[in-house]
Each structure stands twice: as C-alpha cells, then as structure tokens.
Amino acid sequence: MSDLKYWVGFNIVQGVGPVAMKRLLDYFGDLQAAWEAAPLELARAGLDRRALTALSAARARLDLDAEMEKLDRLGVRVLTWQSAEYPQRLRDIDASPPVLYIKGTLQPQDDWAVAIVGTRRASAYGREVTRQFAADLARSGVTIVSGLARGIDAQAHQSALDAGGRTLAVMGCGLDIIYPAEHRRLAERIIEQGALISDYAPGVKPEARNFPPRNRIISGLSLATLVVEADMRSGAMITAVYAAEQGREVLAVPGSLLNRNSELPHSLIRDGAKLVRHAQDVLEELNLTQISQQAEARAVLPHNAEESLLLDFLSHEPRHVDEISRSVNWPIERVTSALTLMELKGLVRQVGGMRYAVVREAQPRYRID
C-alpha cells in the first residue's frame, strides 16, 4: 500500500481516531492528500482545533520514512482498514481501529476465537479453570485471545500454547515494550504461535488510560468473551461491556461465594450471561463443535459474491428461506443451496423450520447497565 506511512503518521497524531480518519478518507480520498493538506481544508474535512494543532506538530517532527524503517527493524507489520489481512470480525465493530501493529502472524483460523479474561490476582481455582478452558478450546481449534496481563490472561495464553494452539495477545502499549516485563518469554512464544497486536505505535508506554480502549480489541477479535474471575471494577468488566455492545456473547464461570473475584462472573450470569462449566459448553454455545470441517469447507469453497449478498441481508434475527428468496429475488433452490454451503463453512446457522441466522453477529441476550 503506497500510502501506508501516512496511516502510520495519522495514527500517531493525538485526536485523530476512527471517526476523524473516516472523515479524512471521505473528504480527500487518500491519506497522503490529507497529510499534505492545508489547515483550512483539514478543518473543512472535520478536524477540530485540537487535532489540527497536534497534526501540525506531528508533521513538523515526524519523518514518516524513518518511522517505517523503525517498524521494519522491530519486525512489526502494519495493517489498516484497507488491508486484506485486517481481521474481519474486528472490522465489523463500531469505531474499529484504523491501524493495527502486528508481531507474529494472523491466520484464517483466528476467525474462530474466544477471549478469556479475568483478574491479575487469580486464585488457584481460577488458574486451574483457565488452564482447562484454554487448553481444551485450543485443542478444538479455537484461538485464545487475551491481554498478556498477570493472572488469568497469562494463564490463558500459556495454556493455549502448551496445548499446541494459537493465541493472540492485545497490548496496551507499543509492541517494542513487553508489559509486564516478566512475560517477555511468554510474548516470544506467542509470536511463534500467534501474534502480539496493538493499535499503539512503538514507543507508547503502558499507561493506565491505554488499557480500557485496548479491551475493545480483545472483545472485537472474538466470537465471545469468557470471564473467569474478576471484581466489578476490573478490566474484565470493561471487556464484557464491550462484548455486549458489539453483539458478541458473554460467558462466565461460576466461583466461590466467598471469593470477591466471583462478583463479576456471578453478576453476569444473573443478568443473562451463559454459565459455562467446561469447554464443550463454549463450543456448543458458539456452534464451534466442527471447526476443522468448517475450515476445510472454507478452504475448498472460497467466499463468493452470492455469500456476500446473503451475509449483507442476514443478521442475528432468524429469517425463513421464503423471506430470503423474496428479498434477494432468487429461486428457493438457489437460496437453500447457498445457505447449505455457508452453514458448512460456519457462516450461518439453521435455527429450525428452515430459518437461518448469521453466525458472526451473535445476539446479545442481556444488557449490562
């Protein structure tokens, strides 16, 4: 992508987030033209005074070619909204990050991902439950997503790796900084069997304000967020809220009534989150019991225009094939044939009575106030 360095440049500018980036793209057509534009034109495109001031300072001090060379030296790749490799599940959320920094690899099978989150002060019970869930899900072909923090996060990554599976760690800092520092070896293993991911540029330190926004990426990459142990004011609570807002499932593991870190999972279960006892509950809830067959079907039968049309029409609300046929103006036979193949790929599911719903938009069953 010839204008990649301009995406990197704007991503460094304070006050230019997803909304502003979209306005710039809509107004200028590409980010090189936006980077080189006069302040008056940038204001017309929708940048406020704060963003204009920050952009002016950034253009004066940044050497974008040097920034790209630094990323290359660090072994960091950059994905943008325009990159084919940008994770589709993350792309589907509101205000998805315009730029992702990646160290490691993203694979097609990462579309089947579950986030496991919880407290940094995990009990022996919490660690063992996390180990069992992460290992069993990883062995079933599920990619485990978490945040590389102490406690539940680290246990989830470690257990997925030990089971020979894939795991993605979303960072609240630049990828040249491993936080906490004692997880350096764990991070190296994750790069070998997955990826470190951040929307923060190298050099950005792990400040407290960075972690709540990072949690939206953890949930956004995942079909569901599984909460093991955490209290009501934890980062896991923030991740669960994001998951619900994004239309993703929230799952929770029950714990001891005497443990403060059972407060959040118990509260979520009370409000309608799915109580899960073992990995099989997760697989059944998310229609993931046949991941290998779904992956094989996707490899043999590539995505096509027919499927795109149906996915645009379908949602989490089940629709009968007769309604679908009328809406897309296709014969019933063509609709059912396409839907059968899409079901094999894990893109849609039949909910009975020839009614179909899309898999990638899970219906939130409850509301977190």
Q: Give the per-residue pLDDT at 347.
A: 82
Averaged pLDDT for residues 164-172: 98
Residue 198, pLDDT above cutoff 70: yes
Report the C-alpha gap between 165 and 157 in whole angstroms: 9
Give the strand order in the sheet containing 348-350: 319-320, 355-358, 348-350
- pLDDT tens digits for 292-351? 566 666 666 667 888 888 887 887 678 898 988 888 889 988 888 888 888 887 788 787
So what CATH class is 104-285?
alpha beta
Residue 120, pLDDT above cutoff 90: yes
- pLDDT tens digits for 172-182? 999 999 999 99
Q: Give the per-residue pLDDT at 299.
A: 62
Q: Give the per-residue pLDDT at 66.
A: 96
CATH of domain 291-358: 1.10.10.10
Q: Give the per-residue pLDDT at 363.
A: 36
DSSP tag of 108? G
Q: Give the per-residue pLDDT at 365.
A: 33
User: What ranges do the domains of the chain cover?
Assistant: 1-73, 104-285, 291-358
Averaged pLDDT for residues 23-47: 96
Report the C-alpha gap between 175 and 171 in whole angstroms: 7
Q: Give the per-residue pLDDT at 369.
A: 37
Q: Give the per-residue pLDDT at 351.
A: 78
Question: Confidence class of residue 70 from pLDDT cuts 50, 70 and 90?
Answer: very high
Strands 319-320 and 194-198: unpaired
Q: Give the per-residue pLDDT at 134.
A: 98
- pLDDT tens digits for 210-240? 999 999 999 999 999 999 999 999 999 999 9
Averaged pLDDT for residues 47-55: 95
Residue 149, pLDDT above cutoff 70: yes
**How far apart, in Å, are the Cα atoms of 16 and each of 9, 228, 237, 328?**
10, 35, 27, 39
Residue 278, pLDDT above cutoff 80: yes
Question: Confidence class of residue 289 from pLDDT cuts 50, 70 and 90?
Answer: confident
3-state helix, strand, coil in the chain (%, to 5): 50, 15, 35
Strand ranges inside the chain, DSSP E: 77-80, 99-104, 113-117, 143-146, 167-170, 194-198, 224-227, 249-252, 274-275, 319-320, 348-350, 355-358
